[in-house]
Amino acid sequence: MRDALTSRNYVADYVQTFTHEVKSPLSAIRGAAELLQEPSMPHAERERFLKNIESETQRIQEIVDRMMELTALETRRALDRTEPVPLASLIDDIAISAQPAAAKRNIRLLVNIRAEASAEGDPFLLRRAISNLLDNATDFSPPDSEVLMTLETTSKLARVSVRDHGPGIPEYAQEKVFQKFYSLARPHNQKKSTGLGLAFVKEIAALHRGRIELGNAARGGAVARWRHSRCRCCHITEQA
């Protein structure tokens, strides 16, 4: 009975939150559709409203997709299957994939592999989590800045950090960044994300018996730290 009631409350909470999140894009779509019915609307204005409908539709689709992924993760008690994942090559691949988007705003992606390590886990989910952290750091980085991804190990931990040089996290938001649907406006376009990305990362970390933290760096900007407690550390090669 307790499990049934908990599940029912969980679903009700998700429905309520989803309804709140899609209300704004739906209103924008409805308003644009009504204006497009005006026969005398200039072509440029018509194109602008059509693009607005397209972007708001994509936003709703993204919210739905992220919610489905997050819900699937939250209902899992453990990973179905794990394998050794070479973290150094994974981080390199992620940085290479993210380079074109970062280059559009002249953001340099740097990788500092201080130690080689393999982590037991799901390679797809680990890639999604670290990619999300990198995308988040890039979104909050100013043009002509750097984002640094670092891999280091101890005898029991593999640690991945992603550091940007953006505005950092405001004090009022520091306790909310991992909450579902909480998002800060991106400095370069003042747009918010779905607010599900970091919640997704947190669930992946929990499934891997790891820990994720996001805070302000000592010299400005924000830094995300992923700690994975189940690693097989290889030969450590310190770099200058």
Q: How confident is the model at residue 161 (pLDDT cuts 50, 70, 90)?
A: very high
The mean per-residue pLDDT over the stretch 106-120 comes to: 91
Tell me the CATH number for domain 83-233.
Answer: 3.30.565.10
Say what the pLDDT of residue 27 is.
83
Say what the pLDDT of residue 13 is.
57
CA–CA distance, 192 with 67 (Å, rounded to integer): 16
Ordered DSSP codes for 226-239? EEESSEEE------
Read off the pLDDT of residues 34-88 as tens digits, 9 standing for 90 and up: 888 888 888 888 888 898 888 888 878 877 777 777 677 767 777 878 899 999 9
Statement: 2-74 belongs to CATH 1.10.580.10: no
Say what the pLDDT of residue 11 is.
54
Read off the pLDDT of residues 165-216 as tens digits, 9 standing for 90 and up: 999 999 999 899 998 878 888 887 777 777 788 888 998 998 888 899 999 9
Task: Decide if 2-74 and 83-233 have a common fold.
Answer: no
Domain ranges of the chain: 2-74, 83-233
The mean per-residue pLDDT over the stretch 91-107 comes to: 92
Please report where in the chains the tokens 């936003």 appear, as a residue: 59
Say what the pLDDT of residue 1 is.
54
pTM over 0.85: no
CA–CA distance, 237 with 76 (Å, rounded to integer): 36
